[in-house]
Amino acid sequence: MDYAVETIDLTKVFSDWWGRNKIYAVDDLNLKVNYNEVYGLLGPNGSGKTTTLKMLLNLLYPTKGKTILLGASSSDPKISARIGYMPEESYLYRYLNARETLNFYGSLFKLPSKIRKMRTESLLDMVGLKAVANRPVGTFSKGMARRIGLAQALINDPELLILDEPTTGLDPMGTRQMKDLVLKLAKRGKTILLCSHLLADVEDICDRISILYDGQIQTEGKVKDLLRQTNKKQITTGNLSDTAIQKIKQLVEKENAECSISSPVEKLETFFIKTVITARKQRKVTSGAVADSENAIADFLVEEQKEELKRAEILDKLVSTDVSTEQKAEPAKAEEAVKMEKTLVADRELLENLTKLPDTSTAQPTHAKQKAEPVETDTISAGEQAKNLLDQLTGEKESQNDEQQKKGNPDKDSEK
């Protein structure tokens, strides 16, 4: 099976000039990152995360083992042309301004001048640095430097994005934007490998994680699987009266289970962002980096997604007309589809009642992400049902599934 990132028995030993004091920074590491997933590399300081990334990027050479990125070695310029890398600090030329920085890195990819210029402007817009595009990077704050660091990593529209501590130095807004961006890029089919100390960030955006210690993987798996507490259940409801709470407690105690009931607490990050958005609406001017719009993403990074949306629209149109004609041709199947739709609508209503959030505007990207998990894709939109119906009628379902698996499941995006 092909992996976007693969290490085979990767080992890195550091020793002094005389070859003494051997330290195993990475020890027989076998890392496998699938295409189109967000993979988090966690671990305490000195656990070998950054060393691993540096070996992947050919900045360090393995003592033993080998690394494979996108099916080949990263020393091949053809491979590095498909990779974006943001180091733990934005190591940029202090004397270049933001625009020149992106232009320089773009020219290393041999991007034609027009495209380079277009991407530079889009990325500056995306990271909120357009207003300071002519200021030397050396005068930037840490957060602004991280933003331009991210922009340089995206200048080539990479297939694989390697992020070392992506949210370090960013304010909560920037952190949120970074996480949203990672999710959007993932939706677009990019593979993202990141390492971070900020566990909450990793939890929010990663599909899978591994925890490194002493250069070895201690545990690896899907975030949800690793964190799920199967011996406990959680129910979230709307506001309840004291009587209802007592009844629920009694009901739970009858089952010999412990029960604690409290009002949910909003995340500080969400609260902070709401406050800042409110202030921004009141036109309170601030200095530094300002993104033009929430969740902004450079045009060229979503071009493919737009194409997919267009294709989906065309498909929807075809489906809406074709269903009726197909129904005429095969009335039995059409009746079955209508029955199925009714059942699904009833199920969806039930599910929505059970999982209703107190304030939908504060929904986290995590929730959207979780919905994307295959085990919870019970809710299907009308367009989706129509598409499924078309697939069933045309017998293309299986072949599409195969393709989706290869391309990164664009349907996952619409669900998210």
Partner 1 sequence: MSRIWAVAKNTIRQAVRLKTVAFLVLALLVVLLLMGENASGDGTLKGRLQTFVSYSFSLTSLVLSVFTIGLIVYSLTNDIKQKQIFTVLTKPIRRSQLLLGKLLGVFILDFILLAIFSFTIYAIAELTPRFINTSKQELNRAKNEFFTARMKLTPQKVDVSEKVRKMYQEMKKSGKLQQKFPNMSQEAIIRILTWRQEQWTRAVAPGQELIWEFQNVKPLEDAQSLFLKYKYDVSVNPADLKVTGAWFVGDLRQIQYGAKVQTPVHEFARKELIRTYYEEEVPSNVVADDGYLAVGFLSPPLNITTILFPEDYLQLLYKADTFTANFIRASLLILFRLTLLACLGIFAASFLSFPVALLLCLAVFTTAHLSGFVMEALDPATHDVGLFYSYTIKPLIHLMPQFDKFSPVKFIIPAQLITWKFLAEAFAMLVCIKSFLLIILSLCIFRFREVAKVVT
User: Would you tell me which residues interact with partner 1 (CB under 8 A)?
Assistant: 14, 16, 54, 57-61, 74, 77-78, 80-81, 83, 85, 87, 89, 91-93, 95-96, 100, 104-105, 107-110, 136, 149, 152, 156
Q: For partner 1, which is the closer residue by CB, 173 or 192? A: 192
* CA dist., res. 329 & res. 326, Å (int): 5
CB of 224 to partner 1, least distance (A): 32
Cβ closer to partner 1: 95 or 271? 95
| 185/301 Cα distance (integer angstroms) | 8
Q: Which residues of 340-364 are buried (b: 16+ CB within 10 A; e: fewer)?
A: eeeebeeeeeeeeeeeeeeeeeeee
C-alpha 216/C-alpha 213 separation (Å) is: 5
Taken in order 229, 231, 236, 242, the sign of the CA dihedral is negative
69 φ, ψ to 5°?
-120, 130
258: Cα within 13 Å, side-chain hemisphere: 3
Looking at beta carbons only, is 52 or 122 nearer to partner 1?
A: 52
Q: Cβ–Cβ contacts within 10 Å for residue 97, how many?
A: 20
Least CB distance from residue 45 to partner 1, whole Å?
14
Q: Which distant-in-sequence residues (6+ apart) come within 8 Å of 403 by Cβ?
A: none
Other residues' Cβ atoms within 10 Å of the Cβ of residue 309: 14
| 38-42, strands of its sheet edge to edge | 83-86, 160-164, 191-195, 38-42, 208-213, 216-222
The residue among 35 and 85 lying less far from partner 1, judged by its C-beta, is: 85
User: In terms of CB distance, is 18 or 263 closer to partner 1?
Assistant: 18
The token pair at 159 is: 């297939």
Closest approach of Cβ 40 to partner 1, in Å? Answer: 20
* 31/86 with CB nearer partner 1: 86
Nearer to partner 1, 69 or 273 (CB): 69
Question: Shortest distance, CB of residue 208 to partner 1, whole angstroms?
Answer: 23
Strands (E), 170-305: 191-195, 208-213, 216-222
From CA 345, how far away is CA 343, in angstroms rounded? 5
In the complex, the smallest distance separating the C-beta of residue 342 from partner 1, rounded to whole angstroms, is: 54
Least Å from the CB of residue 301 to partner 1: 18
CA dihedral for 297, 302, 306, 312, sign (positive or negative): negative
Q: How far is the CB of 35 from partner 1 (least distance, A)?
A: 20
Distance CA 146, CA 153 (A): 11
In this complex, which beta carbon is closest to partner 1, that of residue 68 or of residue 209?
68
Q: Quote the least distance from Cβ 72 to partner 1, whole Å.
A: 13
In the complex, least distance from residue 297 CB atom to partner 1, rounded to whole angstroms: 21
Please identify, using beta-carbon distances, which residue of 14 and 271 lies nearer to partner 1.
14
